[in-house]
Structure 1
């Protein structure tokens, strides 16, 4: 796989930039907190670099039906890649108000001579720019290295899947996956049991201390902090450890199955005469995670769609990056999980690179609560899960 990617890189490095512009105006827009940073006309595609400022500490994603439309000809140019912004079955989660997030959308090649166009995210609440015009009489902008542009604001992907009817919430962020499933446990007392999985593909080890996990509950308009039992506290209540291995294996495999759900490929011919292909791949390159999955999406740095109209969106994206830097990245080791630690009740552990740690903590039980929020600190970042 690594060698084939290198061949793609070497093959495409001759395809460079055509023109890039920062002097951009538009007639109207519903996106007051979204800025068009720059537009690049490339050999095989058009890239629009956006900068989004968070106003409500929420989530952001890209709808798959996103396009550029020529105001004169009404021709549409489809979205090929969403770089650093998940397609809307998942989302990027902001941590605070005023936080900035850079992302790049790659579209089918727009003609150089286009005079005015719309940028449309075709959904009820989607972003829309009408009457976009490029002032090409001004000096062209500097080349944007897409990798550097998006790495300044790494994506914090948030998603959900189900295991045996229970929701599993998870984050993918800076090479670390944190997944949590909340269940009810009556062994040795009544507890909410938080089953937690931490996957480390960040390229370096870190300590994970479950004693830093906290919870907040809401009941009858009152908010309070229940006790999250430490290993020592819980073991005082039991005389033996529970059989954990079977559940740990099932939990780990469910996460793998969720990712694998995006691995199948299919094609269908549309009336316009081209095939629309979907597929997936994922892995780590050095310290950088990337995957292509689902119906036209990639995570990490790239959520992509590939059209077989003599155009490979992902290959074009690869070609458009700084060749020397990217080839060097791809020569680095590609990471995969090589060890799983599952010891039952969570304790302080050093999680080495390429290691998966699975366990659980028990939370004080309370009847008829309306909401429970679990905060899980991992490697300097706190991941919040709400039921």
Structure 2
């Protein structure tokens, strides 16, 4: 609903701003500012100032489609030469606004890609040079100094629809919901939301919950075969006497529904075995009863002996005496079997096992119902599900989902 309302409001604004328009692009320039950025025209309208801009991505060999992005902060403002009064940015057209509450970025797909957009500010005085300040303390921010332009009347305003036609925004963003971070990629009429978790359920996994919202006027296909993941670890090394971090790829295994269901089935089979064994032993022991008797006893014995005779020419004799005292201890155990108790215990064991096995089946069914599968998403509907990635120690995870031939990348 928010998306539809936003579309209606934007369309209304475009219609209002597009009155008496011509495709005339007056020149504008700035003294210092970001490279590869252009200011094409500045229109002072009745209630606001529109700055028409363009950016082109570098044409470099080390292009990385996961790191090239841009946005403007919500605190961006204009300063008029010779004045300290800030003219705040009101809105943007075709460019995400980044804020503390919602991180939003324009994502680029290729080298030498051009993108045109518009910044709208509180109305500034005519004919004055000015600065556009995103963050004066950040050297990497979009700060433009010494902007000069040629004032134009209402008949030469830029046609906004024409200006941004052919430059769709692929927007990546994040926002918080009850302590969890939701990431999304929005392109044209498709929005994909993702929420990652770590789980330990029948194994350790990165668990990806996704939803695909189709606001287009046609059906689109979600195909699990068009989902891929890449892992990276950062390694610190030295380069030109400086410490730098390089990324090393890590192979990650994304489990299909069939693969994960097989893991769940096997683990549940073993769980059922041990539960059945435990319940059976408990039932068997319930029918057995034991009684133990302890006993002890003692005995006394004595003896004596007498002997005499010659040893050489000497006659002699000898007497010997002896005695012993012995005590013995012991136990005896008697086992008895109660058939009725054993039967009742076995019935309880069978019931417990049946409940456990049924609960396991329900868990497996629930896990299977939510796991992503091939699915056609009709217009104005949504498809949601999850999938698991086998856990490995990594520093970054890149997820790519392809819908209708377009790549929707997520970096975690």
Q: Would the TM-score normalized by the shorter structure come out above 0.5?
A: yes
Q: How many Å separate the matches in 1 of 2:226 and 2:233? A: 23
Q: CA offset at residue 39 of structure 1?
A: 1.8
Gaps of 5+ in 2: 236-247, 266-360
Q: In structure 2, the residue corresponding to 1:29 is in which secondary structure?
A: coil
Q: Is 1:40 matched up with 2:46?
A: no
Shift in alpha-carbon separation, 1:375–1:134, aligned structure 2, 3 A: closer
Q: How many Å separate the matches in 2 of 1:59 and 1:188? A: 38
Q: RCO higher in 1 or 2 (8 Å CA, sep ≥ 6)?
A: 1
Q: How many Å separate the matches in 2 of 1:165 and 1:241? A: 29
- Give the structure 2 partner of residue 83 of structure 1: 93
Q: How many Å separate the matches in 1 of 2:260 and 2:13? A: 54
1:176-225 per-residue CA deviation (whole Å, 9 max, x = no partner) reads 11111222333333322211111111222110101221112235865233
TM-score of the superposed pair, with normalisation by structure 1: 0.64
Q: How many Å separate the matches in 1 of 2:82 and 2:122? A: 17
- Give the structure 2 partner of residue 282 of structure 1: none
Q: In structure 1, the residue corresponding to 2:225 is in which secondary structure?
A: helix
Q: 1:373 aligns with which of 371, 379, 398?
A: 398
Q: How many Å separate the matches in 1 of 2:207 and 2:14? A: 51
Question: Which aligned pairs between 1:259-298 and structure 2 lie closer than 5 A?
Answer: none
Q: 1:344 aligns with which of 361, 370, 380?
A: 370
- Give the structure 1 partner of residue 144 of structure 2: 129
Q: How many Å separate the matches in 1 of 2:49 and 2:17? A: 17
Shift in alpha-carbon separation, 1:223–1:133, aligned structure 2, 3 A: closer
Q: Is 1:354 matched up with 2:380?
A: yes
Which moved further from structure 2: 11-20 or 88-97?
11-20
Q: How many Å separate the matches in 2 of 1:69 and 1:356? A: 45
Question: Which aligned pairs between 1:209-358 and structure 2 lie closer than 5 A?
Answer: 209-219=223-233, 222-239=248-265, 240=361, 242=363, 343-358=369-384
Count of matched residue positions in the alignment of Structure 1 and Structure 2: 287
Gaps of 5+ in 1: 248-341
- Give the structure 2 partner of residue 149 of structure 1: 163
Q: How many Å separate the matches in 1 of 2:45 and 2:200? A: 60
Q: Would you tell me which structure has more helix in proportion to its own residues?
A: 2
1:150-186 per-residue CA deviation (whole Å, 9 max, x = no partner) reads 2421122211234554433211221211111222333
TM-score of the superposed pair, with normalisation by structure 2: 0.60
Q: Is 1:22 matched up with 2:26?
A: yes
- Give the root-mean-square deviation of aligned CA atoms: 3.7
Q: In structure 2, the residue corresponding to 1:32 is in which secondary structure?
A: coil
Q: In structure 2, the residue corresponding to 1:375 is in which secondary structure?
A: strand
Larger radius of gyration: 2
Q: How many Å separate the matches in 1 of 2:164 and 2:157? A: 14
Shift in alpha-carbon separation, 1:79–1:10, aligned structure 2, 3 A: closer
